[in-house]
Structure 1
Amino acid sequence: MTHQVHIIGGGLAGSEAAWQLAQAGIRVRLSEMRGSGEMTPAHQTDALAEMVCSNSFRSDDANSNAVGLLHQEMRALGSIIMAQADKSKVPAGSALAVDRDIFAGGVTQAVASHPLIEVVRERIDALPSEGPTIIATGPLTAVPLAEAIARATGRDQLAFFDAIAPIVHGDTIDMDIAWKASRWDKGSPDGDGKDYINCPMNREQYEAFVQGLRDGPKTEFKQWEKDTPYFEGCMPIEVMADRGVDTLRHGPMKPVGLDNPRTGRWPHAVVQLRQDNALGTLWNMVGFQTKLKYEAQVALFRTIPALENAQFARLGGLHRNTFIKSPELLDGALRLRGAPHIRFAGQITGCEGYVESAAVGLLAGLMTAAELAGRSLPTPPPETALGALLGHITGGADAESYQPMNVNFGLFPPLDESVRKKDRKQGYTDRARTALATWKQDALGAVPA
């Protein structure tokens, strides 16, 4: 199959971009390094759209949360990522979490079986000199291609560390100590309010745990990695512990809203586990990304009540994420200013999060499809989640201080001052729905969903 668009990278962004293009009748070559004998430091399979750090797409509440609104907008535009996430979801309260194997398998099957998509297992080391191209290699871009991007942009790469949370075998959790509940009993809409396993800790246990985090042996970094900043939304727990003894109690180990049924009170601290697969046999430690060495992880995590005999399907890890200085390098249509036949999509643009990555891939696919059809796709209004995210990446942020960003209402244009504070989240979402419906009708010629 002779392709019309070359997509490099088969993660969430690349898979979404390929799907949008193929659905528009455009032939795509999707190059994915994994499966060609190559692997990244963080991936475990060669499946397309493999989720590495977590199995959660975060909040699915489209009425009070910006990422939930982004979910809704992507569904309205036929997102393959959201369609497969909905098919593979597992209980996680108001969040959308998935069985990551079922999810990746579903995306792989859908994309690879599309008659207009050719998936090729190959590593691409250079930027194509011509032809519509989308670079969606993500935060773990292979060194040769990363160096090619650096040469093409004339800019040093920016980077930050991202960390992976451990996964526990469910049958090794002591449920005589732990209990199932969601915070404030707010579980999945169709559930019983008991979506998480909660492991309580008293003050003495918690403070010993914090000290263990501080004292435990950490992964050593190469010289060039030492000054690389962490992303605040995925901070290793030992880095948080160094900020103060109670930092974790106000973060991933927050006990608020979790009544221990054995005492009727909130514990001093709580370790929460979230279901990681459809069978409920694997549970990930929420917010427990870490750079502790493996043996130290096992020893320390087994000091947590209810995890004394825990067996781990995967331990925590740390990897280096790279991204480009998008506000300076990309135009409003995600094209590289110095080589406009090349678009960038996904986390390499500096968006943060699975959903945000896929959303930028969706936009790159739609924009490229419109370009090949001889027209320009108007950018989504800044009042929408898609438009707000795109605006931040392509010019809304200061290039010199640019850092990875999740979608949030702070990226949206302010509401009228007459809107009461308690009504603002609903105001943002109502305004966004109206704006997206109008844009979809005008830009895509589609009946609003």
Structure 2
Amino acid sequence: MSQKLHIVGGGMAGSEAAWQAAQAGIEVVIHEMRPETGTFAHRTEKLGEMVCSNSFRSDDDEQNAVGLLHWEMRTAGGLIMAMADAHRLPAGGALAVDRDAFAAAVTKSLLEHPKISVERSEIASLPGDGHWIVATGPLTSDALGHAIRSETGTEALAFFDAIAPIVYADSVDMSTAWFQSRYDKGETAEERTAYLNCPMDRAEYEAFIDGLLAADKTEFHEGETAGYFDGCLPIEVMAERGRETLRHGPMKPVGLTNLHAPDVKPHAVVQLRRDNALGTLYNIVGFQTKMKYGAQADVFRMIPGLGQARFARLGGIHRNTFLNAPSLLDAQLRLKSRPHIRFAGQITGVEGYVESAAMGLLAGRLAAAELQGRRLPSVPPTTATGALLTHITGGAEAKTFQPMNVNFGLFPPVEGLKVGRRGRRDRYRAYTDRAKTDWAAWLRHG
């Protein structure tokens, strides 16, 4: 039996799993089907390509669960976080990156590692022996998806995911739009240009909602029953839930002052976040969409400041698949029916770049230990990584299992915690302090 570790998929989870195992001294082969076989969402053959947002969300490791997950991955020598930090863009309290430079750096790091090789071919079936991690993400190929469904005896669960459009910065009308981070976060000139803002008065907002609701949209095949992940809803779906929904969501006007009319409070604001280091590309924040391409251009050009917008990429929607992990995976992320195969990333039912990479980090370490005849101690459920692992491998109810972002609701309560006047801030700080102590101890003993 081969002592190499084979990883299917070179996205966030697969890249991180390969790095962790190789750093532990294991020979790794990454099987990436691109560019031989493409997907709806990918544009390049790079490893670690970001296909949706360019943001890893909040980087606050004291008050935010995903920020804590950033900290845990950095502490574990994670490749994804190291490359994100190296190619960081100003984004207030969020960790946003130059997506092309980030993917290029991830690819370079993996290709130059002496323990890692990459094979550009599709794996269409589940292997019968060896040591494998399947990290194909939500865009698993049809052939491999069919093999997984045949093995598990169930229909793969699925949901729809959407992508937001990207605009060329020089096509934005700066006599209408202005640079400002919400609540003026950021002190440097670069940080102050992290976000572009396009204001709407009430009439413009109402017309925009009418345009959204009337636009031609992608229709799904008859019998398609997959739902949407609530953390990435298309804007049309939000608008259908009520005309004010967007104004209290991605288009909320709070924390912003119109540079061109400081005494006039906008009824709504569309924000665009810098998407590359040059500042030539901006993505429309929260504007995932299922509108057809022609309709998108017409509707988005209704936004003040975007009347002549040129799009580097229009939005889109695709079907994501994931396992019913609580019933199929053990606490080591192994497929119960074939324990020589681990799963990692979004296919396990975690949602988000960081969560996917974290499960890759864990799968890589667990596989490396197994190959070396070691067994790692259980990951403490008090950590962000452990809370996610516990949720997907038994903490969640299998019958109602849906994709999940990391959040403090997954953490066990802190025993004996006395919350002061700051309430939630004290509680979250207690969670993060405990998590950091327990994660550091786990790394020392692992």
Same fold (TM over 0.5): yes
**Count of matched residue pairs:** 440
AA of the residue aligned to 2:428: K
1:381 Cα deviation after fit: 0.8
Residues 274 and 60 of structure 1, relative CA distance in 2, 3 Å threshold: same
1:230 is the counterpart of 2:228 = yes
- Deviation string 1:341-364 (CA, Å, 9 cap, x unpaired) is 000000000000000000000000
Q: Is the 8 A contact 1:336 1:342 kept in 2?
A: yes
Aligned counterparts of 2:258 and 2:361: Cα–Cα separation in 1: 43
Q: Give the SS at the match of 2:317.
A: strand
- Tell me which residue corresponds to 1:155: 154
For 2:367, the equivalent position in structure 1 comes to 368
Shift of 1:3: 5.8
Distance 1:403 1:85, change over 3 A: same
Counterpart in 2 of 1:20? 20
* 1:7-406 aligned within 5 A: 7-36=7-36, 38-187=37-186, 192-225=191-224, 227-261=225-259, 262-406=261-405
Give the aligned residue type for 1:236. Answer: P
**For residues 89 and 375 of structure 1, what CA distance do their matches in structure 2 show?**
36
Q: Distance in 2 between matches of 1:352 and 1:218?
A: 24
The amino acid of 1:439's aligned partner reads W
Instruction: Give the TM-score of the pair, scaled to structure 1.
Output: 0.96
Shift of 1:434: 1.0
Give the distance between the partners of 2:88 and 2:228, measured in 1 at CA: 29
CA RMSD of aligned residues (A): 1.3
TM-score (norm 2): 0.97
Q: Find 2:428's aligned residue among 416, 419, 425.
A: 425
Deviations 1:96-136 (A, max 9, x none): 11110000000001111111111000000010101110000
The CA distance in 2 between the partners of 1:135 and 1:167, in whole Å, is: 30
> What do the CA deviations read for 1:314-346 (whole angstroms, capped 9, x no partner)?
001000000000011000010001110000000
Kindly, what percent of the aligned residue pairs are identical?
A: 62
Quote how far apart the aligned CAs of 1:194 are.
4.5
Alpha-carbon distance between aligned partners in 2 of 1:97 and 1:192, rounded to the nearest angstrom: 11
1:165–1:286: 8 Å Cα contact kept in structure 2?
yes
Q: Could you tell me which residue of structure 1 aligns to residue 437 of structure 2?
A: 434
Query: Which amino acid in 2 is paired with 1:429?
Result: T
> Contact (CA 8 Å) 1:173, 1:306: kept in 2 or not?
yes
Letter in 2 for 1:387: G
Cα distance between partner residues in 2 of 1:144 and 1:406: 28
CA deviation profile, 1:27-62 (whole Å, cap 9, x unmatched): 1111000022x1001111110010001100001111
Aligned partner of 1:411 in structure 2 is 410
Cα offsets for 1:63-113 (capped at 9, x unmatched): 111001100100000101011111111111110111100000000011111
- 1:263 shift after superposition: 2.5
The 2-side partners of 1:246 and 1:436 are apart by 42
Kept in 1, the 8 Å contact 2:92–2:186? The answer is: yes
* Structure 1 gaps, min length 5: 444-449
Amino acid in structure 1 at the alignment position of 2:174: M
Opposite residue 118 of structure 1, the aligned amino acid is S
Over 3 Å counting, the alpha-carbon distance change for 1:131 and 1:122 in structure 2 is same
Alignment check: 8 A CA contact 2:235 2:287 kept = yes
Q: Indicate if the aligned counterparts of 1:93 and 1:189 stay in contact, CA closer than 8 A.
A: no
Distance 1:73 1:5 in 2: 24
One-letter code aligned to 2:197: N
Quick one: distance in 2 between partners of 1:188 and 1:41? 39
Rate the CA distance shift 1:352–1:189 in 2: closer, same or farther, 3 A.
Answer: farther
Change in 2 beyond 3 A, CA 1:189/1:6: farther
In 2, the alpha carbon distance for the partners of 1:189 and 1:380 equals: 39
User: Following TM superposition, by how much is the alpha carbon of 1:376 offset from its aligned partner in structure 2, in angstroms?
Assistant: 1.1
Offset at residue 198 of structure 1 (A): 0.4
Structure 1 CA distance for aligned equivalents of residues 418 and 188 of structure 2 = 32
**C-alpha distance 264-424 of structure 1, shift in aligned 2 (>3 A):** farther
Corresponding residue for residue 446 of structure 1: none
Separation of aligned partners in 1, 2:189 and 2:409: 31
Match of 1:447 in 2: none
Tell me the distance in 2 between the aligned counterparts of 1:379 and 1:236: 38
